[in-house]
């Protein structure tokens, strides 16, 4: 009797999502009969075979990050210090968070050139509303105020028309906060900024998906529009400070206390370990394909050990003047980024919506024939991208303590798109993860931080960052060509 070879997992998330969408029953059947798991040696050989076939993922960016850390540690005595390493995360958090949202857009092969200024616009509304005690009518003037209300109302209606109910709800909440003139509150301002970012995404998504305009043209035009809105709200040369708000300022400049840092470690690392191991052994009991238990235990153990080491180091007093000032604990931005990372990863990997995103990014026409509402998916990723960009804008404003007409400007956008691409998200759509934005963002943050310590001018920083992005795009193109050749 001939032995039937075990099936292999689908090569890409886009192909897997499309296959399951086209024939869910077949997908369930495949999982039911695919009960052959690889040994540890076979899994390692399979991994290296996929690397040779061009499926590199985040490996090049992780290798590049390691090289940069070693290089800057050798060139600067101040780089590999607790104070500087802890400062890298707050410095790059704004860009990393915006890049997380852009990943959703790039997965469809689209682009959002307005994400940076959208984050600045959302942050400007937050700052204006807080500084002027909720009275935007008296601050903006009746003409600008009525126009702003009309834009929020239009965003709500357009989102409802596309049946993106989350976008419609948040746009409505923002509309009510602004129209009623709710008194200022730091937490309310954060919600308002997210609502404004969501409304911007609703408009962008409608123009791209329903009107059919190229995303490059739409977002380029809106980049200019929102830049003008920033100037209108703040004024040329103007600045709105938010340092008088303890909550808003500490988002990017504060730290958890020592006890809170260890509690965060237990929740994050412990939660990951429990969920991963429970899922693994549950699948093992059901006879489904799983990674070798040895590899799973090694991965979980390594993450827990590294997380514990990082937590311990961050709880050490890293103040340059320890006798006078105490600076210790995990920066607040790390839990914020982790929550967004977990949420984004769960949406893309564990929900029907995430499978649809990969399917549309992999083959839009095939996804449409499979019954996916392609226009709705295309519009929704811009809503998510702009909403997450607003959170990035809040963090960026908190870091510098103010909002200006340059907030979310050109460099912010380029670094954000660059972070996603450097991390491994493909510009061609269908391939990428939210984690790519974190890895790529850390690469950019390390480059900027390291060159700053070496006192290099902005010109050198831009040149090096651009070359890193070019290298990442080259690796992406070559790996896709290698993967296509291996598939023949």
Using the Cα atoms of residue 242, residue 245, residue 246 and residue 250 in order, give the sign of their dihedral: negative
What global pTM score does this model have? 0.89
Task: Give the pLDDT band of residue 42 (cuts 50, 70, 90).
Answer: confident
Check whether 24 has a pLDDT greater than 50. no
pLDDT of residue 41: 79
In this predicted structure, which of 177-191, 220-234, 448-462 has the lowest mean pLDDT?
448-462
Cα radius of gyration rounded to whole Å, the chain: 23
Whether pLDDT at 19 is above 60:
no
Residue whose token pair is 């040779």: 52
pLDDT at 36: 54
Q: If pLDDT is split at 50, 70 and 90, which confidence band does 189 have?
A: very high
Question: Lowest mean pLDDT: which of 6-15, 83-92, 270-279, 414-423?
Answer: 6-15
The predicted pLDDT at position 383 comes to: 97
111-125, 243-257, 413-427: lowest mean pLDDT where? Answer: 413-427
The predicted structure's pLDDT at residue 480:
67
Express each pLDDT in 375-424 by its tens digit.
999 999 999 999 999 999 999 999 999 999 888 876 888 889 888 888 88
pLDDT of residue 108: 94
Q: What pLDDT score does 35 carry?
A: 47
**Average confidence (pLDDT) over 311-325:** 86
């Amino acid at each position: 009797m001939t032995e039937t070879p075990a099936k292999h997992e689908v090569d890409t998330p886009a192909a897997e999502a499309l296959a399951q969408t086209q024939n869910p029953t077949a997908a369930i059947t495949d999982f039911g009969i695919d009960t052959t798991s690889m040994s540890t040696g076979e899994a390692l050989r399979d991994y290296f075979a996929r690397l040779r076939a061009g499926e590199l993922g985040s490996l090049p960016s992780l290798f590049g990050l390691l090289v940069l850390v070693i290089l800057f540690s050798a060139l600067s005595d101040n780089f590999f210090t607790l104070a500087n390493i802890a400062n890298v995360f707050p410095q790059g958090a704004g860009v990393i968070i915006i890049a997380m949202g852009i990943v959703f857009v790039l997965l469809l092969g689209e682009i959002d050139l307005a994400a940076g200024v959208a984050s600045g616009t959302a942050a400007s509304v937050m700052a204006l509303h807080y500084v002027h005690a909720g009275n935007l009518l008296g601050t903006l003037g009746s003409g600008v105020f009525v126009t702003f209300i009309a834009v929020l109302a239009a965003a709500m209606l357009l989102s409802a028309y596309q049946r993106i109910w989350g976008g419609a709800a948040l746009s409505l909440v923002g509309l009510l906060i602004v129209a009623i003139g709710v008194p200022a509150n730091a937490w309310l301002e954060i919600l308002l900024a997210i609502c404004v970012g969501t409304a911007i995404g609703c408009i962008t998504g409608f123009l791209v998906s329903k009107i059919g305009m190229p995303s490059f043209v739409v977002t380029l035009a809106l980049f200019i529009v929102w830049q003008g809105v920033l100037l209108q709200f703040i004024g040329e040369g103007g600045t709105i400070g938010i340092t008088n708000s303890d909550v808003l300022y500490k988002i990017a400049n504060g730290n958890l206390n020592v006890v809170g840092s260890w509690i965060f470690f237990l929740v994050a690392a412990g939660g990951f370990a429990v969920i991963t191991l429970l899922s693994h052994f549950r699948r093992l009991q059901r006879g489904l394909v799983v990674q070798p238990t040895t590899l799973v235990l090694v991965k979980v153990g390594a993450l827990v050990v590294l997380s514990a080491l990082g937590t311990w180091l961050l709880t050490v007093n890293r103040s340059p003047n320890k006798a006078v000032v105490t600076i210790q604990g995990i920066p607040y931005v790390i839990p914020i980024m982790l929550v967004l990372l977990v949420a984004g990863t769960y949406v893309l990997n564990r929900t029907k919506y995430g499978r649809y995103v990969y399917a549309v990014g992999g083959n839009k026409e095939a996804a449409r024939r499979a019954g996916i509402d392609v226009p709705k998916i295309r519009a929704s990723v811009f809503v998510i991208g702009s909403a997450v960009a607003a959170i990035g804008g809040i963090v960026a404003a908190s870091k510098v303590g103010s909002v200006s007409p340059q907030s979310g400007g050109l460099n912010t956008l380029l670094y954000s798109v660059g972070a996603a691409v450097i991390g491994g998200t493909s510009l061609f759509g269908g391939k990428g993860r939210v984690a790519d934005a974190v890895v790529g963002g850390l690469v950019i943050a390390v480059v900027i931080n390291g060159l700053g310590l070496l006192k290099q001018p902005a010109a050198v920083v831009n040149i090096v960052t651009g070359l890193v992005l070019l290298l990442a795009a080259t690796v992406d193109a070559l790996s896709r060509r290698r993967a296509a050749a291996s598939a023949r």
